[in-house]
Structure 1
Amino acid sequence: MSMMQEFKDFASKGNVVDLAVGVIIGAAFGKIVDSLVADIVMPVIGKIFGGLDFSSYYLGLNGQASGLSLVEAKKAGAVLAYGNFITIALNFLILAFIIFQMVRLFNKMKKDQPAAPVAEVATPEDVVLLREIRDALRK
């Protein structure tokens, strides 16, 4: 089998297509969660803590003045942008919680569905005859 044929067989399997769709939807969903965190959650948290914007918090490692914006401080040298890390960590926690809830819901739906009846497989005639001979010899 040629490599192209193997690749075609691999790429045309349902799992690969499902994975690709999942990645695309996940990327789009990640953007929604990014917007939720940056535009809704973090401003509320900032307001609670006195109108602070966490994403602009940094610690200058080259002696940058703390009055500079994060972009200006990065131009001046290395910075430890811990506020941005807090925002991204919160973003991850929200995304992980939503995915956990989705998986939990799907698992619950699977449990509620009745199991498909197992079809009985007919035993071949030669096996039936051998069993009868075995049982007759035991007597």
Structure 2
Amino acid sequence: MSFMKEFREFAVKGNVVDLAVGVIIGAAFGKIVDSIVNDLIMPIVGLIFGKLDFSNLFVALGTVPEGTPHTLEAIRKAGVPVFAYGNFITVAVNFIILAFIIFLMVKQINRLKREAPAEAAAPEATPEDVILLREIRDSLKR
């Protein structure tokens, strides 16, 4: 089998297409969660902890040039290495929220899958030979 033919068979399998759709939707969903964390949750958490801005929590690992504003972006532009633990906190909260939402989605999908066969299951029709045997039995009893 040629390499291209084998690749084509692999690429058009249903699971590969489903995976591609999942990755694309996951990337878009990740952006939504990122916005929720950065624009909604972290400002509230920062307000609770005394107007703390997590994005600017860092430790400069080198000498900061004089006159450079004390913000993460400005110090990085100055070429000073930084230990940006505030950014890590934001990303960690983002991950926890995303993992929790995915957990809830998978749990709901599994619950729906378990319920679907119970609703769809129709009573099986009794075979004709069993019906005839029951009729014979009932007529012999009389």
- With structure 1 as the length reference, what TM-score do the two structures score? 0.78
Matched residue, 1:40: 40
> Quick check: 1:87 aligned with 2:90?
yes
Matched residue, 1:54: 54
Stretches (4+) displaced over 2 A? 63-67
Identity, % of aligned positions: 61
Encode CA deviations 1:6-58: one digit per residue, 9 max, x unaligned: 11111111000000000000000000000000000000111111111101110
Report the number of matched residues.
117
Encode CA deviations 1:96-138: one digit per residue, 9 max, x unaligned: 0000000000111111122688xxxxxxxxxxxxxxxxxxxxx
Q: CA deviation at 1:67?
A: 5.9
Pairing 1:1-139 to 2, within 5 Å after superposition: 1-64=1-64, 68-76=70-78, 77-114=80-117
Q: Distance in 1 between matches of 2:116 and 2:74?
A: 58
Provide structure 2 residue ranges, at least 5 long, that are not aligned to the other structure.
122-142
Q: CA deviation at 1:88?
A: 0.3
- With structure 2 as the length reference, what TM-score do the two structures score? 0.77
Provide structure 1 residue ranges, at least 5 long, that are not aligned to the other structure.
118-139
